[in-house]
Amino acid sequence: MTALVPASEIAVVGVGADGWAGLAPAAREALAAAEVVIGGPRQLALLPAGVTAERVPWPSPLRPAVPGLIAAHAGRRIAVLASGDPLFHGIGRTLAETVGADRLRILPHPSSVSYACARLGWPLEDTEVVSLVGRPLAGLTAALSDGRRLLVLSADADGPAQVAALLADRGFGASRLRVLEQLGADRERIVEGTAAAWSHPAGDPLNIVAVECAGPRSPLVPGLPDDAYESDGQLTKRHVRAATLAALAPAPGELLWDVGGGSGSIAIEWLRAHRSCRAVSVERDPARAARIGRNADTLGVPRLRVVTGPAPAALAGLPVPDAVFVGGGLTAPGLLEACWQALAPGGRLVANTVTLESEALLLTWYRRHGGELVRLAVAHAVPVGGFTGWRQAMPVTQWSAVKPAAESIEEEVQ
């Protein structure tokens, strides 16, 4: 039966490295019935002469061109070629976001990671996947932990050497690497070695790096050791940091403003909570702002946005946050008001201080908006002569509150 696609529907056909030979009958029929086939030049070249549709290569940059290109062929039967599974790091996502998922008829092919797991005998659901396509290499660090299996999607032929160098630099030199090239094609090849001793010349640009991590373990919950951070002393210390992240309560996809970023630890641990979390760190001191960027790279969250400048002025124009942390600048005029006003309804505001002046301000806000006012007093056991005693750190006052869904204007101006 020919699966004739109505003209308003776009067939999105996943193609493997084996081209036409590897396509299922439904995928072949969709391409045979198309009047226009849009794809990358490499994918279009895989089609046999029997596919008579007009062949249209994607322009570059692709995303802004998609709606116009689809509109230009309105009324004709359109098929789009995708590599592997269209919805796995592919054109399927762009199409769903630009023309709408309900216009798409998606015909998936096994993805490159399905092929890789098949070759390695790794269960797909236990394998972490990290893409380096259009993303910084430093993001790989967040996935490294002793005993984990990773599949790294390389951006090009240099990917394996870059992965090996990063692993060696982060204490994972003993990790076993296997580079799987041209999965599913005649030229398929696997190259193997360890990260520290990697010396293979660059191979095929289409490759996935399978990593069996051998190195330090990476804890999942907030409260990394203080020495995980480069710092000039402006750092929310481990126990208070863990309590602060608990109050901020990151959920997938949420955005944090970390105001008075210092060394960046609050924003960094927020981002490590989930790969879809987003954060902006605002720091007035340029040297500290640069340090925040370095800490974000080292700890695997290069997506942290750092804004250099004094709050509240530097907050103007930032996207609406789901949570705000104020770690510095509490007494700057209008800072707390600006943060509270910007916060999304239902969002959390958490502010920490060690000074009495700022504590007085937090008491005022606590009386006005409720929430929780707590005092965190951490002491560490230290040697006292031949004995052991407590050394008390400066107590931290923490106010946290949830912004009500609808707050009256009178309350705002009080």
Ligand X SMILES: C[S@@+](CC[C@H](N)C(=O)[O-])C[C@H]1O[C@@H](n2cnc3c(N)ncnc32)[C@H](O)[C@@H]1O
Which residues are near ligand X by CB under 6 A?
A: 234-236, 260-266, 282-285, 288, 310-311, 327-329, 332
Nearest to 21 by CA among 43, 48, 45: 48
Distance CA 273, CA 231 (A): 21
Supply 209's token pair. Answer: 């790096």
Q: Which is nearer to ligand X, 115 or 229 (CB)?
A: 229
Q: Which is nearer to ligand X, 14 or 262 (CB)?
A: 262
Residue 85, Cα to own-chain centre: how many angstroms? 21
Shortest Å, Cβ 373 to ligand X:
19
Distance CA 389, CA 224 (A): 24
**Quick check: 225 and 238 in contact, CB under 8 A?**
yes
Q: Which is nearer to ligand X, 84 or 327 (CB)?
A: 327
Shortest Å, Cβ 227 to ligand X:
13
Q: Which is nearer to ligand X, 279 or 311 (CB)?
A: 311
Supply 262's token pair. Answer: 């210092």
Shortest Å, Cβ 304 to ligand X:
12
Q: Which is nearer to ligand X, 159 or 327 (CB)?
A: 327
Helix (H) or strand (E) holding 316: none
Shortest Å, Cβ 370 to ligand X:
24
Shortest Å, Cβ 281 to ligand X:
9
Residue nearest to ligand X (CB): 328
Distance CA 246, CA 225 (A): 16
Shortest Å, Cβ 283 to ligand X:
5
3-state class of 411 per DSSP? helix
Q: Which is nearer to ligand X, 27 or 235 (CB)?
A: 235
Burial of 84 by CB count in 10 Å (0-12 exposed, 13-18 middle, 19+ buried)?
A: buried
